[in-house]
Each structure stands twice: as C-alpha cells, then as structure tokens.
C-alpha cells in the first residue's frame, strides 16, 4: 500500500510545522515535536512543534484582546466573515477531505463529506447571524418593557476528538464566531495536520479582510498539559469538549470546580431496534452504514442491534452475508468502504473487548480479526465484527471505539425499549418498523431516552440543521443547528421603565 503525500504542500503542510497560532504562527525554542503517523501505512507523514505554556499564554492573551473588538462587530458582519470562510472551504473540499483520510483513516467520500459538513455549517451560521433573537415579554408593570437579549460570551475553548477532526471544530467555531466569540482550538494529537490546514484556510480570510489577530486560534499539544490548562483557566468562558466519557467527566469536574461553563459531546452506545414489522432491506443498509462506516469510529456508530425474535435468524443471516462483502483496504481507493482504525492502540482496545465478551459468555458470529500480510503491515486493519451478547455484559455497557456490533434478541416492544435504554450513554437511537404505533411509542415519552431518535433511518449521519448531542453520560450538550447557538452566548434579561413612577414587581408596597 502506498500513499501520495505530494498534496500536503498545497495545504501549506511542511515536514515540520508550528503548532500554535494566535494570528501569527508561534514556535518556542523548547517545543517538543509530535510525529504524525498515517494509519493507512503506519508511516510518519510530518511533525508538529507542540505548544508550550508560553505559547498558551500568548494565545489566550491575544484572544482576550481580539474579543474586545470582535464583540462590537455587528453579527451580520461577523456572518459575512464566516461566509467567506465557507467559500474558501469550498475551494479546498477535495484536498482537505484527502488530508482527513490520510490522517484519520476514514474513506475518501467520508473525508470529503466531513468538509461538506463544514461548508453547510458555514451557510447555516451566515443565516443565523441575522437571527440571534431574544424575546420581548409582557411586563406586569405599566410603562415597562421586559425583554431578553444575547451577548457574546468571550473566549471559547474547543477541544476535539480524532474521529471528526475538522467538522466538530466548524460546528463550534463558526457558530461561536457569528455569536461574537473568539475561539481557541485544541485538536486531538492524532489529527493535528487537518487543524493546521484549516487554520491556514481561515487565516487567508482573516488577513484579506484586515481583521485583527486572535479571533481564530490554535493550540496543538497534549491534552494533559494544553487541554488541562484550558479547563483550569478562568479566561476561557466556555469549554466545548468532544471526546470520551472518562475525559468528559474530567472536563466537567475541573471546569465545574471553577463554576465555568462546559458543553459536553461524549461517547455513545447506539442501538437500532429491528421490529417484526421492519423493512429488512432498508434496515440492512442502515446497519451496514451505521456499524461499518468510519470503521465503527463515529460517536453515532451502531453498536447494538435489538432484533425481534421472529426475524432474528433471517436478518442475522443477511447481515453476515453483507459483512462478508465489505471491501477493506486503503481508504483513498475507490470502492473500499472500510479503512484502518486510527492507531494500533484502537485495535488493541477492540481485541480486549472481544476477549471480555467471550469471558462473559458471548459469541462471535463473524469477523473481529486483525488483518495480516504486507498490505496491512501497519497493524491497523481489522474485519468488522458481529457478536451475540446480553445487555448486562460489561462490554455491551461500554463504548468500544471499533467496529463491533452486539446482537440482542427481544419478544415485545417494551422489552426492546428497555434494552435500548439500558446503557449509561444516550446519544443516538433508531427503530425500523412500518407500524405507526410502534414508531410513535418509540418516539414518545416512554420510548427512547436519547438525544437523537430516528425511525426507518439508522443511528449515524445526522444533518446539521438539527441540534446534535445526547443525554445521560453522553453529557447533555447540544451543538450544530436549531437553537444550539445559545450555548455560545450569555442571556441578559432587561427591564426598562419608561414611566414616571416606580412600581415594584409582585405589587409590593415599600415605604409608601
Ligand atoms: P479522547 O477523550 O481520548 O480525546 C478527546 C480530546 O481530549 C483530545 O483532544 C485530547 O487531547 C483531549 N484531552 C485529553 N486529556 C485531556 C485533559 N486532561 N484535559 C483536556 N483535554 C484533554 O477522545 P478520542 O479518542 O479523540 O475520540 C473518541 C471519543 O469521542 C469517543 O468516545 C466518541 O464517541 C467521542 N465523540 C463524541 C462526539 C459527540 O458529538 N458526542 C463526536 C465525536 C466523538
């Protein structure tokens, strides 16, 4: 297997790259080098100088300065800047998508799809910039006006996961930007190059528009140092964190202890219920995309199938036949639908989970093997796995970030919903059924307890127009569309007395 690295130059990526940016690229003499390895072949493609505490200070200080300016720019004018960023992203869709594939290992159509999501969010944010509405409320006092308005928050720290290395930044940064916030991005150390490429694309617009430094910033470095500093820094008004549940718990504790704001988008453990009334062909396609897409490394990946006993055997046979046809290989190649896992540690986690599954009494029906041979020498390629399990198993209760699909059988819908809800996470869920009563029950208050509930669509591949996020240990945050923008602003309730007396609320008479 070979990868072409010549396109990196077109994105401004060199052999060694500075990893901190506050309008200028910063590189301390004592910065340590982070090697960037592609999971496609296991080779090093470039390296990045990581941010030092001095770089951190320079970035945060510049962001605070920029905020004083940016918050006064009218929101539609901020929207215009985001529109231009969207235009620039359109030009780089293919190249940036290719870099996502190189660095993270998802197939090229998914890499490009991720950039399309950035473009879509930019468009959404432009419209939003004229719709940051507050309510006018009827006052109980005469000649009084009561209303609420939304103001920018300040510096937003955006800490992102490896699996959507650029889209998650755009959900946060482009919405935050129209809201009048400035952004400091700390990407995953597995995917720093995509972050540098995006920063360079954004920088073109910032410079061409004559905007000051410090509106869009970048800090590449270990989560345990740079990330941790953000959690503890009172100057970071909001920490928007996307990542695993254990890390999210840490974020909530540290930011919470300084009574700061955090927005959490954590792990999922998503199930599809396949009823006896399901269109099995549609369900099959949805399960394949949901469980095998991005090699099982989406937060919304389908991890559990809850199948009615009457269709269990038929469906499972179809599923195994479909899994056998999955082309696995170089994610740059047309026709491949499953690339490598992000790194060897992820493969080890998968194997550990399968060992645990067997110890608990579960059985593997298909896959779950490490692929060997010259083509797969980097040790990151596996076959996707279908396993039989019970809801109480520890492995089923946890999110293993790999393509393992657990099969669970049910007799009636109440039991299916109980199984669907019977995990600590609450991100995405779905039912396949052509029976309206089943569907409505699943979507009703006694149904799915997740932030996302779908009918006759799988668990992954959400549109940007809706608010995205989950309940329970998924963290409760909402990003992207709908009114998710409110998390990036502070609400202010205003009362104006335009009369010449001073009536008190609740009719209180005081000293009269
Ligand atoms: P991770 O938790 O290992 O890392 C996430 C980020 O946290 C990285 O940038 C990392 O450097 C940083 N970090 C590490 N230590 C830190 C610290 N002490 N302080 C602050 N930041 C620190 O997650 P990952 O492996 O990159 O991503 C996979 C996980 O992300 C999965 O659990 C997946 O479900 C979740 N995810 C959730 C969503 C969602 O929207 N709900 C989206 C994508 C991914």
Tens of pLDDT along 112-136?
999 999 999 999 999 999 999 999 9
Examine residue 434 and state whether it is found in any structural domain, yes or no: yes
Is there a single domain that holds both residue 123 and residue 227?
Answer: yes
Question: Mean pLDDT over residues 11-22, rounded?
Answer: 98
CA 200 to CA 198: how far, in whole Å?
5
Nearest to 480 by CA among 97, 115, 110, 128: 128
d(CA 434, CA 128): 36
334 and 239 in one domain?
no
How many beta carbons lie within 10 A of that of residue 316, not counting itself?
Answer: 19
Residue 227 sits in the same domain as residue 350:
no
Q: How many structural domains are present in the chain? A: 2
Q: How far apart are CA 207 and CA 200, in angstroms?
A: 10
Q: Which residues pair with 62 in a beta bridge?
A: none
Phi, psi (5° rounding) for residue 117? -65, -35
Torsion of CA 39, 44, 45, 48, to 10 degrees: 110
265 is catalytic: yes
Signed CA dihedral, 217, 223, 229, 234: sign only: positive
Sheet with 489-497: strands ordered across: 136-137, 144-152, 489-497
Looking at residue 512, its pLDDT comes to 81
pLDDT reported for residue 35: 98
State residue 2's pLDDT score. Answer: 86
| Sign of torsion over alpha carbons 394, 399, 405, 410 | positive
**pLDDT tens-digit profile of 32-74?**
999 999 999 999 999 999 999 999 999 999 999 999 999 999 9
Ligand 1 center–CA 152 separation, angstroms:
26
Mark whether 366 and 482 lie in a shared domain: no
Token pair of 39, please?
């999971």
Residues 278 and 258 in one domain: no
Q: What is the position in ligand 1's atom list of the atom closest to the CA of 479?
A: 40
Q: In 3D, which of 47, 48, 54, 63 has the Cα closest to residue 28?
A: 54
In a domain, 128, yes or no: yes
Q: CB of 322 within 8 A of CB of 288?
A: yes
Give the mean pLDDT of the chain.
98
Query: Under a CB-based contact definition with an 8 Å cutoff, are residues 468 and 263 in contact?
Result: no
Place 1 in a pLDDT band, splitting at 50, 70 and 90: confident
**Which residues on neighbouring strands pair with residue 457, listed in sequence order?**
none
* 217 and 188 co-located in one domain: yes
Q: What is the CATH number of the domain that holds 136?
A: 3.40.605.10
Both structure tokens of 212: 């000051």
Pick from 39, 243, 265 the residue to mutate for probing ligand 1's pocket: most ligand atoms within 8 Å of its CB.
243
| Residue 231 in contact with ligand 1 by CB distance below 6 A | yes
Cα 469 to ligand 1 centre (Å): 14
The mean pLDDT value for 457-480 works out to 97
Name the nearest CA neighbour of 462 among 101, 117, 54.
117
Q: Nearest Cα to 274, choosing from 162, 156, 475, 416? A: 416
CA 447, 262, 65 angle in degrees (round to 5)? Answer: 145
Does a structural domain hold residue 504?
no
Q: pLDDT of 382-409, one tens digit each?
A: 999 999 999 999 999 999 999 999 999 9
The CATH number given to whatever domain includes residue 399 is 3.40.309.10
Statement to judge: residues 433 and 482 lie in one domain: no
What's the pLDDT tens digit per position in 330-365? 999 999 999 999 999 999 999 999 999 999 999 999
Q: Does residue 309 sit in the same domain as residue 394?
A: yes
Give domain status of residue 122, yes or no.
Answer: yes
Residues 166 and 43 in one domain: yes
Other residues' Cβ atoms within 10 Å of the Cβ of residue 138:
7
Task: Look up the pTM and report it.
Answer: 0.98
Pairing of strands 44-49, 33-37: antiparallel
d(Cα 189, Cα 19) in Å, to the nearest integer?
11
Whether 278 and 330 share a structural domain:
yes
Do residues 220 and 187 touch, judged by C-beta distance below 8 A? Answer: yes
CA separation for the pair 191, 106 (Å, rounded): 12
* Domain membership of residue 403 as a residue range: 270-462
Q: How far is the CA of 306 from the centre of ligand 1 (A)?
A: 27
Indicate whether residue 219 lines ligand 1 (CB < 6 A). no
Average pLDDT over residues 308-312: 98
DSSP states along 321-349: HHHHT--BS-TTSTT--B---SSHHHHHH
> How many other C-beta atoms can be found within 10 angstroms of the C-beta atom of residue 370?
16
Position 2 in a domain: no
Q: DSSP readout, 215-233? A: SEEEE-S-IIIIIHHHHH-
* The pLDDT of residue 285 is above 90: yes
> In this structure, are 138 and 84 located in the same domain?
yes
Tell me how far the alpha carbon of residue 121 lies from the centroid of ligand 1, in angstroms.
21
Check pocket membership of 189 for ligand 1, CB cut-off 6 A. yes
Q: In which band, very low, low, confident or very high, does the pLDDT at 470 lie, cut at 50, 70 and 90?
A: very high
Kindly state whether residues 370 and 276 are assigned to the same domain.
yes
Distance CA 459, CA 271 (A): 7
Joined together, the tokens standing for residue 173 give 């940064």
> Which residue has the CA at smallest separation from atom 22 of ligand 1?
223
Cβ-based neighbour number of residue 74 at 10 Å: 11
- For the chain, how far is it from start to end, CA to CA, in angstroms? 87
């Amino acid at each position: 297997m070979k990868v072409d690295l010549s396109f990196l130059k077109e994105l401004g990526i060199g052999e060694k790259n500075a990893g901190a940016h506050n309008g200028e690229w910063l590189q301390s003499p004592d910065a340590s080098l982070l090697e960037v390895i592609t999971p496609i072949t296991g080779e090093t493609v470039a390296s990045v100088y990581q941010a030092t505490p001095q770089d951190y200070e320079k970035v945060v200080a510049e962001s605070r300065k920029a905020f004083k300016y940016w918050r006064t720019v009218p929101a539609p004018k901020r929207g215009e800047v985001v529109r231009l960023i969207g235009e620039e992203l359109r030009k780089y869709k293919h190249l940036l998508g290719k870099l996502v594939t190189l660095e993270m290992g998802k197939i090229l159509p998914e890499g490009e799809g991720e950039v399309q999501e950035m473009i879509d969010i930019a468009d959404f944010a432009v419209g939003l910039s004229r719709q940051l509405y507050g309510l006018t409320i009827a006052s109980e006092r005469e000649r009084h006006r009561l209303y609420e308005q939304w103001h920018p928050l300040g510096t937003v720290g955006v800490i992102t996961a490896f699996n959507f290395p650029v889209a998650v930044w755009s959900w946060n940064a482009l919405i935050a930007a129209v809201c009048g916030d400035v952004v400091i991005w700390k990407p995953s150390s597995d995917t720093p190059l995509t972050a540098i490429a995006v920063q360079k694309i954004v920088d073109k617009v910032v410079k061409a528009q004559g905007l000051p430094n410090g509106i869009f910033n970048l800090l590449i470095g270990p989560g345990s140092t740079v990330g941790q500093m953000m959690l503890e820094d009172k100057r970071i008004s909001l920490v928007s964190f996307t990542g695993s549940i254990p890390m999210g718990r840490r974020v909530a504790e540290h930011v919470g202890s300084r009574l700061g704001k955090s927005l959490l988008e954590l792990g999922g453990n998503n199930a599809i219920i396949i009823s006896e009334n399901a269109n099995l062909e549609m369900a099959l396609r949805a399960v394949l995309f949901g469980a095998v897409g991005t090699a099982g490394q989406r937060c919304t990946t389908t991890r559990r199938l809850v199948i009615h006993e009457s269709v269990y055997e038929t469906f499972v046979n179809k599923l195994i036949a479909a899994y056998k046809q999955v082309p696995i290989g170089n994610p740059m190649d047309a026709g491949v639908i499953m690339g490598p896992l992000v790194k060897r540690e992820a493969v080890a986690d998968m194997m550990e989970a399968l060992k645990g599954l067997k110890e608990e009494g579960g059985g593997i029906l298909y896959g779950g093997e490490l692929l060997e041979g010259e083509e797969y020498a980097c040790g990151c390629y596996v076959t996707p796995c279908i396993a039989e399990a019970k809801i109480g198993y520890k492995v089923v209760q946890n999110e293993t970030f790999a393509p393992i699909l657990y099969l669970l059988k049910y007799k009636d819908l109440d039991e299916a919903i109980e199984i669907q809800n019977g995990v600590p996470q609450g991100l995405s869920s779905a039912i396949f059924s052509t029976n309206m009563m089943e569907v409505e029950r699943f979507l009703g208050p006694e149904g799915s307890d997740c932030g996302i509930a779908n009918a006759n669509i799988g668990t992954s591949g959400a549109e940007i127009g809706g608010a995205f996020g989950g309940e329970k240990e998924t963290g409760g945050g909402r990003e992207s569309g709908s009114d998710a923008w409110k998390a990036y602003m502070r609400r202010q309730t205003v009362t104006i007395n335009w009369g010449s007396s001073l009536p008190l609320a609740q009719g209180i008479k005081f000293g009269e």
